[in-house]
Amino acid sequence: MNRRKLYTAIFSMGVQHSMEYRFHFFLSLIGAAFPILVQYFIWTAVYRNSGQSALFSYSYGQIILYTILAGLVSKLISTQFEQQIADDIKNGGLNKYLIKPVSYFGYRLASFFGQKVIYYGITALLLVGIIWIASTRGVLEVQAIRLVVFTFTLWGALLLNFLIVYCICASAFYLHEISYFFVITGLLVNILSGGMFPLEIFGESVVKVLEYTPFPYTIYFPVNVLSGKTEAVGMYQGLLIQCGWILLFFGLSRLTWRVSMKKYSAVGG
C-alpha cells in the first residue's frame, strides 16, 4: 500500500470514528451551550447596568453573537487527543510507528481531519441558522466574500490548533504526570485565542501583543471575519499571517518531536 492510500485509509478511519461516537459530539455541543448561556446572562446584566450601548467596541448584539460563534469554533477546533499521545509515549505505543511506513505525525493529522469532517457538516448547519437569525435582527450583515474567507480561516484554525497542541504534547517526553499540564495549557490557549470572550477585554496594549502570537488566529480572527469586525484589508492580511503561523508551527512541531524522540525509551507497546 503506497503512502497516499495509507493516509486515505487512516482518514476514512477517522470519519468512521466520528460516526461511531456521534452521540458524544452532540453531548459536547450541549455541554458547550451551558457556558454560552452563562455568558449570555452575564453580558445581559453588564450591558443593562452599564447604561452604554457598546462596551469594548462591541454592541450588545455583537457581543452575544461573538460569544455564540466563539463557543462553536472552540469546540470545532478542539483536539482531545493529548492524553492518547501521552499514553503512546509512556506505554510504548509509538513503537509500531517506528517500524512501519507511516509517520506518527501523519497518522494523527489524517485521523484528526477525518474525525472533523462530519463535525464540520453538522456545525455548518448550526452556523447557517445563527447567521440567519443574526442577519434578521440586524446584528450581522451577510457578505459572500466573508463567508468564503471564513471557511478558509476555519480550516486554517483547525490545522494551526492541531500543530500548537501537537507541539505541546511533546512535553510528555519530559513530564511524568502530564494530565494537569494539558488542562492548564488548554485553558490558557483558549483564553488567549478569544474562546471565552473577545480579546479587547484585556485592553488595547494586550491585544497588540497577542497579534504577534498564533493564538488569536484560531478563534478570535475567524469569528471576527464572519461578524464583520475585521475590515477587508485586515481580513486578507490576517489570512496570510495565519498561513505563516501554520508553516512555522509545522516546522516547529517536526523539530520538537525529532529532538524529544531522543528521550524515548520504547518500553512496552
Which tens digits make up the pLDDT trace of 62-109? Answer: 999 999 999 889 888 888 888 888 888 888 778 877 777 678 888 888
Alpha-carbon distance 239 to 225, whole Å?
10
> What number of other Cβ atoms are within 10 A of residue 63's Cβ?
25
The pTM score is 0.89
Quick: pLDDT tens for 175-232: 877 888 888 898 999 999 999 889 999 988 999 999 999 999 999 999 999 998 888 8
Alpha-carbon distance 147 to 153, whole Å?
10
Please provide residue 167's backbone torsions phi and psi, each rounded to the nearest 5 degrees.
-65, -45
Please provide residue 66's backbone torsions phi and psi, each rounded to the nearest 5 degrees.
-60, -45
Inter-CA distances, 104 with 96, 100, 189, 246, Å: 9, 10, 24, 18
Nearest CA to 261 among 107, 110, 97?
Answer: 97
Alpha-carbon distance 219 to 250, whole Å?
19
The domain segmentation of the chain, as residue ranges, is 3-263
Nearest CA to 26 among 112, 162, 122?
Answer: 122
The cell for 71 is 463557543
Report yes or no: 71 and 106 within 8 Å, Cβ to Cβ: no
Report yes or no: 201 and 57 within 8 Å, Cβ to Cβ: no
